[in-house]
Amino acid sequence: MLNKKEIVAKLAAEFGIKNQMATPRVTKVVVNAGVGSLVKNKEALETFKKDLAAICGQAPALKKARISVASFGLRRGMVAGLAVTLRGKRMEAFLERLFTIVLPRLRDFRGVALTGFDKAGNYTLGIPEHTVFPEVDIAKGAAHGLEITIVVRAKNPEQSRRLLALMGLPFAK
């Protein structure tokens, strides 16, 4: 994995960027998890909150339902999800662990899809089980999925893709 200065220099050369501050960079990482199945079981919800805090290095924020949906058994004000926003050193440490340890541990992993980019160049990927993170004790509870969004400041998705590739994100061929 290249360091920051090498990545900035390489991106500036490839895309013809003269100002170093205009090169693409990751601004934040947002980790989301729905907890619909855990709403009725407070103990399981607390265990999942602790797992998410261990994975990210900071406590997750509770996201409450804005509307009631009877078919889901969800009432306004009930906890519907957990979210963590990472910036700075915690973000960098999380991304390094994600790229080098977690993704290769996924079953049948052959790289992440290129379809996860939006028009702004942000990348979103789903992890089917949070138990692939080394901080989580597999025996303690059930596995839950996570959604990880890497927010990138770039002019287009191509610059974003190149930045993430240089950082070590393994894309599928």
Per-residue pLDDT at 172 exceeds 70: yes
Each residue's pLDDT tens digit, 16-55: 889 888 899 999 999 999 887 777 788 888 888 999 999 9
Report the C-alpha gap between 79 and 75 in whole angstroms: 9
Residues 125/130/135/139 CA torsion (nearest 10 deg): -170
Do the Cβ atoms of 28 and 86 come closer than 8 Å? yes
Confidence of residue 1 (pLDDT cuts 50, 70, 90): low
- In the chain, the domains with their CATH numbers are 4-167 (3.30.1440.10)
Per-residue pLDDT at 132 exceeds 80: yes
Percentage of the residues of the chain whose pLDDT score is greater than 70: 98
Sequence-ordered strand ranges (E) for the chain: 25-34, 61-64, 79-86, 123-127, 146-153
DSSP state of 172: -
For tokens 């957990």, the residue is 82
Each residue's pLDDT tens digit, 110-119: 888 888 899 9
